Every structure is written in C-alpha cells, then in structure tokens.
Structure 1
Amino acid sequence: MEFTKFTAFVVFVLAIGYQVVLRYRNRPSLGETLITETLKDEYDYVIVGAGSAGSVLAARLSEDSKYSVLLLEAGEHFDYDPNVHIPVLAFEYLHSDLAWLYKSEKEEGAFLGLKDETAVLNRGKGIGGSSLINACMYSRGSPFDFDDWEKKYGCKGWGFNDLLPYFKKAEDIQIEHLETSDYHGKGGPIAVTESESTPLTDYFMRAFKALGYKETDYNGKIQTGVSRVQNTVRNGVRSSTGLEYLGKFGRKENLDISTNSFVTKMKIENSVATGVYFIKNGIKRLVKAKRDIILSGGTFNSPKLLMLSGVGPKDHLKNVGIPLIKDLPVGKKLDDHISIAISSRINQSVHLDKQKAQSIWALLEYTLFGTGPLTSLADSVAFLHIDKARIGKERPDFMAFLVPTTFGDNKFLGYNETVASELIYPYVNTPGFNIMLTLVHPKGIGSVRLQSTDPFDSPILDTNHLKDRRDENALLAGIRIIEEMLSTEAMKSIKADLGMNKASFCSQHEFRSDDFWRCMLRHISVSFYHSTSTCKMGTKGDPTRVVDLDLKVQGIKNLRVCDASVLPAVPSANTNAAVIAVAEKFADMIKIERLKA
C-alpha cells in the first residue's frame, strides 16, 4: 500500500515536471533569441519603443524582407522575469525593473492619501511595454469613442468602422459564444479569453441587471452593460504584444531588436529626422533611418523625446534651454482615467479566498492546465451611465470592475501607511471584494513637460485630476450607482456592507454623505494607468495637434509617432486594445505608402 502511494506520488511529480518543461521549454531563452547585439549603422525604419504599438509595428513592417527594421527598447526582453507571464501577478511589477516608475506632481486637492501625495503613473518597460505588466483586461472602448475621433476631432479614417477590421485582425477570440460575432476576430496574434469567475460574479451581474443593465459583449455593438471580463490570456499565459507578435515568429533577418538601449534624442537636420541617438552598454551611439523614425515610447516618453529634440512648445523649450526646431503643442493635452476603490464585506465565501489562490493546488492547476485563480485579476465589469436614458445614444460614463477579493497589499493603490493601515491591512483575510469605479472621460486635462535637458530625468507629469468640479460631481454620482447596486436583493443576500470604507481622515463628515465621499475622492482616488493624447493627431488648423492623420510630426520630415500619445482622446476603456488596433492600421498605411512610392 505504501509503495503504491509512493509510486503515485512520483508519477504525479513527474507529470507536473513534464508539463512544466512542455509549457516553458523555450523560456527564458525565447526572449533572448530575439535580441541583436551587433547593429548596423542604418535601417529603413527605426522604431523607438517595443511596447504595445512598437512590437506590432516591428512585426508588421518587417513582413516584407526588402525593408530593414530596427526596434530599440530601453528595457529588457519579455522573459527577463518568467513570472511576468502569470496574469495575476501584474501588481508585483508596478514597482519593478519592468516599469518606468513615473509619478505625478503634487496636485492641489487630489491624491492626499497617497504616498508623497502623488499618483503612480506607470508604463511598461520591456519588449511588450505596458502589455507586459497590465491587468490583461481586453476592452476596446465604445464605438461612440472612435466615431467621436472622426466627428469631434476631425480624424477622418479613424472612426469605429475604420478601426474594427484592425481590432479583429489583432484578435484570436477564444470565447465560444463570440467566435461567430461580427465584432470579433479569429486567428490573430492576441488571444482573448473569458475570465475565470468566482461565484461572486453571479451576484455582481444579477445586481446590475436588477438596476436595468443588460448582459452584453462590451467589445461588441453596445459597450454599456455588465459582463464577465475578457482577458488577453492564452492558456493561462499573458498574451503580450512582445510575446505574440515577435516571440512566436522568432528571429527575422531584416529585424534587429536591441534591448537596454536608452534613446536620448533624435537627430534632426534642416527639419528632416535622420537618426536616433541612444546609449547602450554605456556607449552613446547614432543609428540612421533611410525612411522613417517612428516614436512608440508611449504617452510620457514620446513627448519627452520630441521635446529633448527641439520639437515642442516654444516657451517651455526656451525655459528649459533647448534650441527650438519646431513649435508644436507637444505634451499639452494629457488625458487619463481617475478611479476609486470601493470596498465591501460579505458574509459568504463566494469571493476569491487568498489562501486557496496562493495554495500549492492553485499553482498545480495553473502549471498543468493554465487555469484557475492565477489566470486573471478581475472577474466581471460593468459600463454605466449617470443618465440611463443615454444608453445606446452615447458612450458610458463609468467602468466599474469587480476585484473579487480584498486587496492583500498596497502595491496597486499606493496609499500612504496611515491610509493603508485603515483601509487595507485590517481586511487582508476578510471575505469581501473591491469595485474599481473609474470615470472614463474626465474633464480635467493634464500635461507633460521636461524637468531639464537631461534625458535621464523623469518628465514632469500633471494630471489635473479633480481640478474640474464636474469630475468630482460625476464620481459622486458613480458612487451612488454603486451604493444602489449594493442595496439590491442579490447583494443583500450576501450582506454586502460598505463599513470597510469608514476612514478617520474623513470622519468629520457623516459616513456616506456627499461631503464624506468628496473627502474620500480627494484622498484615495488614483490614476488608472490609461494615459493618452500627449502627441494627439488632428487635422490642419487644429491648434492642439502634434501629428497629422498619417501620424507624421508636423513640420518634421521622416518623423512619426504611433502609440497611445496620438489618440485624440482617451477611450471609455483600458487603452491596450485601442493602441494595438491603431498600430495595425498604421502599419497598413505605411505598406500602402511603399506601393505608391
């Protein structure tokens, strides 16, 4: 009998080892095999930044072997830390070598309860960029968002019907009931799967349905409603652009990828961008581009590089001491989502139990099958309107997603220790959940500026969150919707209770009064890492545009930008899917230009 048990145990361990080898046999070497150490002096295209856009562009522009492409990335390859591929560990990388670690400035009336009274404004740093460290939620935005790009901002050719083919081209839908949808694609690089759900999801969805919201495919015709989360995850592995667009297809002769390559500025001669200066292994280098330099450094780094190169607001560059090459409103429009965590106790074990999630059995399930609690951070999501009469007529006001557990640590929210000791630490093992309520179209407009001429200095980032009273009023209305949801029979049945949100720093106000929630908003609201629009596209005559509709930097030949910074406005969703679609469309635009040349 003992021998039988021992034999079974050995077989079990060997089976696990075999599965591990099968699933990870090329890691971490897969990422390393893509890297080029010996670079040429000149390429047809030089792409700066290997993030959600840059990885897509490098893959697509190198499909024709006649053209040479160099992809420069300041960070590491995507296997630098193999655990980054595990979706549930996303928060672990917000303060790691795989993030830029940017923060906002201190801003009057906002972030009062966060560390140093500043918001973390992180972006990914590595092949895959922010898709390497994000929460893996696949959310495109409302069709109304992209139609606004065309109608409100004049960006003809960038409406929803123009972008839908590219959303579909990038997607490999793995959700059975959506595989035949006209709004989803099959066979693309980025896998889209349905989140693993706790029983709590059913209560969350029933509660919103009781308020009149329908179950929907939020990446379909109508975004508004409630749904299980769609994730960029394939067999339990994060479906990042670096892995899927570059790693899966291996090394190409006409594509060189250089990591740990910190770009400091562009070389611009007679209003023509001719090369890129970068530092690698402590040596400053120059690489030239025969056709285009494409900045894909992201919402903060692309405007920073433009300004360091003399392209930006005249007065600001003069104050910093950079000779002006082209006066453009670089960094003057920063769109960003603002969010607040609303916590609730419950009296039943329908949430994600942390001990079970961190158990050896959860690890085994993930290792063997790519399933279980390690595969997702959020169960379900609702897109909501302040005025439900506007459903189907305009984009939603809020995104509210369910984190089916209480936060175990303070990595994501970044509260100061006083706030964390009241709102997080006492509830580590408490049955409950968090709802991240996000205002998806704030009125406040932020900015990006240079701190100095030193390229290693972080940019100055002002979000201007809550400067506009309308944003505070809208968030208060959103909190009232969440309170209404928590008072439904579905939530009453598990004794949902907002008492966890009582905070001494707002105790001068009656709990749950307008003044109480306004106080909480001023203290614990956070940026939701969805920053856009600092190099926004626009039409001729638009005083806010930096690039035209072909993503060319105005007044500078052979210099283009393609990343979240060119979006005319932030969509009603996470930004990763929209950025990928924009990059896919832009790659096709360049291919058409080649044919016409």
Structure 2
Amino acid sequence: MGVLTYVLVLVFAVLTALLFMGSSGPQPTKYLNDTYDYIIVGGGSAGAVLATRLSEDRESSVLLLEAGGTGDSNWFINPPLTGALIQKSSEDWNYLTEPQQHAAFGMKEQRGSWPRGKVLGGCSSINMMVYIRGSRHDYDNWAKEGCEGWSYKDVLPYFLKSEDAQTDELKNSVFHSTGGELSVSHIGHTGLSEVFLNGGHELGFKAQDTCHGPDQIGFCKMEATVRGGRRASTYSEFLKSAMNRKNLHVGVNSLVAKVLIENGRAEGVEVIRDGKSVTIRARKEVVLSGGAVNTPQLLMLSGVGPRGHLQDMGIDVKADLPVGDNLQDHLMVFLQVLTNTTMPLSAENVGNVWTMADYFLHKKGAIATTGIEGSAFLFNDGSITSDNGNPPDIQVHLESVHAFTKNEKSFENMNFKEEVRDLLFSSPARPSSFVLLPILLHPKSRGTIRLKSKDLNHYPAIDPQYLQHSDDIDTFLKGIRFLEGLLDTKPMKAIGATLNNSIPMYSLCKDYKFRSDDFWKCFVQQISVTVYHPIGTCRMGRADDSTAVVDPQLRVKGIKHLRVVDASIMRNIPSGNTNAPAIMIAEKAADMIRGKDTVEKWKEQIRGHI
C-alpha cells in the first residue's frame, strides 16, 4: 500500500479531532447587505489577504465572495502530508485542459488535470505548501518592462510583511521576517535533504538554509507554509480571525455570474447564492481575485476581453482587452530514484501507531511534513552564480516519499490513461525510492483561457499549449542531465541512489534507448504535469502596452473602479512556486487601494542589502 494511501486510512482515527479544530471560530456571513464599499470576488490566496487588509480600516465595509465553502469539513486539508489527497474533492474546481498537441501524451484525450482551489484560502488550502518567492530578477524585469513600482526592492517588503518565520535560520536572515500572519517553516524530516544539499555542494553549488537570500542559485532546504504541524493557508492565517470584524462579511457558496458595468464603471456584481440571483452594489471598487482561470472567465462574461471572441460568444463588449492571453504555467516531470536506505517516507515508517500518535498528540513527525524537503535553482548552461543578471531556468524539488507504488493514490488524479497509470503505480515496496522533480521555470510556450459559452456553469477552455516551443523540451533535457550528474556524486552514491530501467514508469518509452535524448524527450511528453502555477491571463503593463489588461496599479484598463488582484496580473511567471507571490500581490494592492504605506519597517530592514 502506498504511503499516502496508508496515511489516509490511519488518519481516520483522528478525523473527529481534526474536524472539531477546523470548524471552530467565526463563521461565514448568513445574510448579506445590498451595498458595500468594496466587493472582492474570490476568497483564495490573494482574496483572503486583501479582505483582511481592507477591513483593517473599520470605516470601510468589505464583502468577500467565495464560490466554494470554508473547507472546515475536509479532514485532509490540515495534515501537511495528506495535501495531495484534496484533489478531486469538493474543494477543487476539477478543471481539465484542452487536448494538448505537444504534451500530455500519457493523459486521457491528452488533457491535463488542473486542480484549483474552490474554498476559502483557494489554492493555499489545497496546494503542497511550498514557500518560494522567485528571483529578484523576475521582479526587476517586470519593472523594466513598464510595471513601475514592482521591482524586487519594491515587492520584497510586502513578502516580509506577511511572514512569520518559525526556525532560527530564517529568523536570523535579513531576507526573512517574524510577526506576520503567514507561518514559514523548514519541514525536512528524513535526512534526504542533507544528502541533496551535500550532492549539490560537491557539484560546486551553494548549499544554504534558504533560497531567499542575495542569490537564489544553489541548493536549499525547503520552506513551507506550515504552522505547528498544520497547513497555514490564507484562510487559517489571515482571514479566519478577521471574520470577527463587523465591517467584513464573507459569503461562501456564492458564485459571481457577472460584474455589472455601467457607463464604463464597475457598479457591483450579480451573485448566484442559495439558488437565487442577487445584485450587490459597490460604492468604491469591485476587485477580482479569482485566479488565472476564474478571473479572465468572469471578465469575459462581463464584456471585458478580446472583441472578436466576445462577439462570437454573443456578449456585448465593454472593453476590448487581451483577457485570457499570455497564459503561462510551470511543468514538472517525475523521476523515480531507487535507494538502498529506508530514509524515504513509506508505509512502514509513516503508517504506524507511533507516527500517528506523534502527530495526533504533538502535531510532529512525518505527517506534519509535506514530503517535499529540498529545492534547487539552476541555469541551463550549468553556471553556478547569478552574476549574469538573469533568473534561473530550472527548479528541482526533492520529494522524500516512496511514491508510485501499487495502490498509491496521491498522484492518480492526474488524468493518466489506464495503461500509463498501471505502469506508473506498479513499483514494489522494496527497494525504497524517492522522487526528483525537474521544473521548467520560464517556458517559452504561451496559452490562452477562452469561453466555451455564455453559461457560467460551463468551464472555460484552458489551453496552456505545453511544450509548443521546442526550447522548452531542450531545457527539460538539460535539467534531467543535471540530475543524472547529481546522482553520480558521492553523497548520492552513498545511499545507492540510481535511475534504473527496472523501474516500471520508465517502460513508457521502451522504444528508445534508456536515458538517451530521445528517451527523455519521449518521457517528458508522456507524463510532464502542471506544478499548479498558472499566471498572466490579465497581464500587467503600461497604459500603452497592447498586451496588458491592467495597469501597474492593477486597475482594469478602460473600466473605472475595477481591479484585479491575483496571480493573473503577473507579467511573466516567477522563478518558483507562485503562492507566496500571489500573497505579496494582495499585500501590495491593499496599500494601493487604501492609499497607505504600511511597509516602511521592512524597507528599512532591507536597506543596503539589495
């Protein structure tokens, strides 16, 4: 039995306790007003933070609308190790991409699965809790391309404002902070992270406690949004306590059908709630925080989008803007690595009464970790410093779970074909293994979000056009070749780490010589999957930028009193996981909307260090 499946069974013993802890505290608003100062659509990673900050001004009334529920009754949200089991639940939108032409060959109909949070906290409530901000060069490049106020120097204080570092290594860094709402912890458990870091050091890279220092390039311990052995989502960390405020209303199970735009101004929203359509007005602003899929969908349904597409859909055009263009996402591929040690998390060392008791009584041990213990950031030319002024090309995750075994369920939700799934999940329990995940950080391929109909209940057409640009496969190949070199280091050899063609998953490309270029290219096209990081579909840019939907103040061009605050505004995808940047965007947007500067303390902290 796979380790996460085993945990799923055993954790049942403590579900009652977890349910009680999750459902305590303030509850969503039952009856909503007709009018508020601010209406925020989407209670996810960004929306929950924005609602918390705007409602700090007690004279302002704030309404947060979320299509999903609280998630308090989903027992698998809180234990970090069971995070992957939330996919395909009622807290997931359960999206599928359009059929891909150059990727997803191992998926049914060549459609990739796209989990998206449909719950308070959004993707921060269903993700794998990785905390990565990206490269300083990502944000400096945004600023150089016309996004004034979004350089690394501008955004770093907002990352710091949110953070509440839990470990001494982070607390003692000028690039980290304590006292914010969002817990950031080191969550290594198995010892594999030390092997990983030592292997990188042998190759000449820095082995460091954090990849958030002056230089992102190198190997580092994984940081995660975990507090006291429980998931730290924007719902649990920010919003939940704010829901006690009288000026903040939170409406769950409330699906916004349309932004009401009259005479070039956003006046309010039309909401489907309790089976009825309700109109709610905004005195000051409507803010969309639905994410890179739902926000462009709602804008287009409201008449803001590409003129030709809206006309084809029979929608009156309120503003002709490139909504839904510029879709970018990170792709990853699983490389299962055999080892002769018992370090990886397995059914034996996780699914026992002592481990369960350690978590139930103390919120410690293997179940209190995510299973992702290390990360690395690399250039595709093998350079070991970032003096060239560019962000990295490749990210690597070290996953310490002995996954892809018989009966393993944690990755079966990827829409794999039956025959592919049977190969992927057929490894024996012995010998144990761990997983290396090379990630394509800056794909050259670009996709789109488009409507399929005017019916709100019809999911949009999600077409990331994965691997459409040949350079993307070439970069993947360089990342895999790097990992082959990593496995040849003394620390890796000491634990017997090897890529072996006896591993069933590698039979997917048995027509090619094992570990040849053609083999790896075939493998990438077969099973590369999303890292859950879609961005860019309401791109930020200058007023005269024809590719931009919002200006650097995040105001929708041509529509007054309408803003977008979520990952869809990112100009280009950051070098790393996107949850922390989405939270930063909300923090910065709150200051823009309120006309305040709340980060002077952190500006002073970093002065002279960047």
TM over 0.5, shorter chain: yes
Are residue 386 (structure 1) and residue 380 (structure 2) matched? yes
Give the secondary-structure state (helix, strand or coil) at the position aligned to 2:257: strand
CA distance in 1, matches of 2:400, 2:21: 33
**Deviation, structure 1 residue 24:** 7.4
Task: Give aligned-pair identity as a percent.
Answer: 39
User: For residue 23 of structure 2, what is the aligned residue in structure 1?
Assistant: 28
Instruction: Output the CA distance in 1 between the equivalents of 2:414 and 2:426.
Output: 12
Please tell me the residue identity of whatever aligns with 1:27: G
Match of 1:173 in 2: 165
Q: How does 1:158-197 map to 2 (within 5 A)?
A: 158-197=150-189
**Which residue of structure 2 lines up, in the alignment, with residue 459 of structure 1?**
460
The two structures have a TM-score, normalised by structure 2, of 0.91
Q: Which ranges of structure 1 fall in alignment gaps of 5 or more residues?
A: 1-15
Note the aligned Cα RMSD (angstroms). Answer: 1.9
Residue equivalent to 1:508: 511
Counterpart residue number, 2:260: 267
Q: Is the alpha carbon distance of 1:181 and 1:39 closer, same or farther for their aligned partners in structure 2, counting shifts above 3 Å?
A: same
Aligned position for 1:372? 365
Contact 1:406-1:427 at 8 Å conserved across structures: no
CA offsets 1:8-67 (integer angstroms, 9 cap, x no match) = xxxxxxxx99xx97x87653132xx33111110000000000001100010000011111
Supply the AA of the counterpart residue of 2:537.
T
Displacement of 1:519 after TM fit?
0.7
Asked whether the equivalents of residues 102 and 465 of structure 2 are also in contact (C-alpha less than 8 Å), the reply is: no
Cα contact 2:543–2:557 (8 A) shared by 1: no
How much has 1:388 moved relative to structure 2? 3.3
Q: Please say if 1:476 is aligned against 2:477.
A: yes
- Does the CA contact (< 8 Å) of 2:321 and 2:549 recur in 1? yes
| 8 Å contact kept, 2:567–2:582 | yes
The 5 Å alignment of 1:108-507 reads 108-151=101-144, 153-216=145-208, 217-375=210-368, 376-389=370-383, 391-392=385-386, 393=388, 394-407=390-403, 408-409=408-409, 410-411=411-412, 413-428=414-429, 430-499=431-500, 500=503, 503-507=506-510
**Is the contact made by 1:94 and 1:133 (CA closer than 8 Å) also made in structure 2?**
yes
Measure, in 2, the Cα distance between the counterparts of 1:369 and 1:203: 27
CA, structure 1 residues 593+405, in 2 after alignment: closer, same or farther (shift >3 Å)? closer
Question: Residue 446 of structure 1 aligns to which amino acid in structure 2?
Answer: G
Structure-1 separation of matches of 2:582 and 2:177: 16
- Structure 2, unaligned runs of 5 or more: 1-12, 599-610
Corresponding residue of 2:594: 591
Residue 64 of structure 1 pairs with residue 57 of structure 2: yes
Provide the rounded CA distance (Å) in 2 between the counterparts of 1:355 and 1:247.
Answer: 36
C-alpha deviation, 1:249, in angstroms: 4.0
SS of residue matched to 2:207: coil
- Residue 37, structure 1, aligned to residue 30, structure 2: yes
- The Cα of 1:558 is off from its aligned counterpart by 0.8
Answer yes or no: is the 8 Å Cα contact 2:19–2:72 preserved in 1: no
Distance 1:198 1:35 in 2: 39
Distance in 2 (CA, whole Å) between partners of 1:315 and 1:501 is 48
- Residue by residue over 1:58-87, the C-alpha shift from the partner in whole angstroms, topping out at 9 and shown as x without a partner, is 000001111100000000114132431111
Amino acid at match of 1:166: Y
Number of residue equivalences: 575
Distance in 2, matches of 1:518 and 1:25, equals 48
Q: Give 1:250 deviation, angstroms.
A: 4.3
1:473-492: CA deviation from partner (whole Å, max 9, x where unpaired): 11011110011111112222
- Asked if the contact 1:140/1:219 (under 8 Å) is kept, the reply is yes
Is contact 1:347–1:431 with CA below 8 Å preserved after alignment?
yes
SS at match of 1:426: coil
Equivalent residue, structure 2, for 1:529: 532
Conserved? CA contact 1:405–1:432, under 8 Å: yes
Distance in 1, matches of 2:382 and 2:583, equals 31
What is the deviation of 1:181? 1.4
What code does the residue aligned with 2:103 have? A
Aligned partners of 2:572 and 2:109: how far apart in 1?
29
Aligned to 1:12: none
Return the alpha-carbon distance in structure 2 between the equivalents of residues 174 and 480 of structure 1: 35
| Equivalent position to 2:560, from 557, 560, 564 | 557
Q: Quick one: distance in 2 between partners of 1:314 and 1:428? A: 56
- Contact 1:120/1:414, CA 8 A, preserved across alignment: yes
Q: Offset of 1:505 from its aligned partner?
A: 3.7
> In 2 relative to 1, CA 501–543 (structure 1 residues): closer, same or farther, beyond 3 Å?
farther
Secondary structure of the 2:40 match is strand
Please give the alpha-carbon distance, in whole angstroms, between the structure 2 residues aligned to 1:104 and 1:535: 19
CA contact (8 A) 2:184 2:225 kept: yes
